[in-house]
Amino acid sequence: MAMRGNKIIQAKMVLLGDMGTGKTSLVLRFVKGQFHDYQESTIGAAFFTQVLSVNEATIKFDIWDTAGQERYHSLAPMYYRGAAAAVVVYDITSMDSFVRAKNWVLELQRQEKPNLIVFLVGNKADLEGKRQVGSQEGEDYAQENGLAFLETSAKTAQNVNELFYDIANQLAKIV
Binding region for ligand GDP (CB under 6 A): 19-25, 36-39, 41, 123-124, 126-127, 153-155
Piece of the chain touching Mg ion by CB under 5 A; list 22-30, 80-88, 138-146, 158-166: 22-30
62: nearest Cα among 40, 45, 74, 37? 45
Beta strands in 99-156 (DSSP E): 117-123, 148-151
Q: Report yes or no: 17 and 89 within 8 Å, Cβ to Cβ.
A: yes
Site size toward Mg ion, by CB under 5 A: 2
CB of 128 to ligand GDP, least distance (A): 10
CB of 110 to ligand GDP, least distance (A): 22
In the list Mg ion, ligand GDP, none, the entry touching 160 (Cβ below 5 to 8 angstroms by class) is none
Q: Phi, psi (5° rounding) for residue 131?
A: -60, 130
CB of 72 to ligand GDP, least distance (A): 13
In the list Mg ion, ligand GDP, none, the entry touching 118 (Cβ below 5 to 8 angstroms by class) is none
Greatest distance between any 2 Cα atoms in the chain: 46
Q: By Cβ distance, which residue is nearest to ligand GDP?
A: 22
In the list ligand GDP, Mg ion, none, the entry touching 46 (Cβ below 5 to 8 angstroms by class) is none
Q: State how far the Cα of 16 lies from the Cα of 50, in Å rounded to an integer.
A: 18
Q: State how far the Cα of 97 lies from the Cα of 20, in Å rounded to an integer.
A: 9
Q: State how far the Cα of 115 lies from the Cα of 125, in Å rounded to an integer.
A: 29
Using CB under 5 A, which of 16, 17, 18, 24 touches Mg ion? 24
CB of 98 to Mg ion, least distance (A): 18
120: nearest Cα among 44, 34, 17, 31? 17
* Residue 123 sits in the site that holds Mg ion (CB under 5 A): no
Nearer to ligand GDP, 113 or 131 (CB): 131
105 three-state secondary structure: helix
Sites of contact with Mg ion (CB under 5 A) = 23-24
